[in-house]
Amino acid sequence: MLAKAVLGNDENTKLSDVKLTTISKIPSQSEALVAWFGCASYFVFCRVTISYLFVTLIWQYLKMCHLAYNFS
C-alpha cells in the first residue's frame, strides 16, 4: 500500500520496486566529538556569561553600598 502511495496507483507496482533509504541511528565518532565539543563550548559560554553578569551585579551593588555609606 505504501509502495502504491509513493509510486502511484499502477497495477504493475511491486513492493520490490521501492528502494528504501536507511539512516544510520548511531553517529560516527567524529560526529559525536563535534556534538560533544559543541555542547561543552555552549556550557562554558553560558557559565562564563552568568559568572560575568553575577560578578558585575555584585560589584555594582558594592559600589552603591560604598557610595551610600560615604554620603551618610
Q: Provide the pLDDT for residue 26.
A: 80
pLDDT level of residue 8 (50, 70, 90 thresholds): low
Q: CA-CA distance, 17 to 7, in Å (whole number)?
A: 9
- Grid cell digits, residue 10: 499502477
Which amino acid belongs to residue 69?
Answer: Y
Asked if 15 and 3 touch (Cβ cutoff 8 Å), the reply is yes
Q: pLDDT, tens digit, for every residue of 15-65?
A: 565 565 566 578 788 999 999 999 999 999 999 999 999 999 999 998 888
**Is 7:13 a contact under the CB 8 Å cutoff?**
yes
What pTM was computed for the model?
0.49
Helix (H) or strand (E) holding 20: none
pLDDT bucket at 69, cuts 50 / 70 / 90: confident
Distance between CA atoms of residues 65 and 30, nearest Å: 52
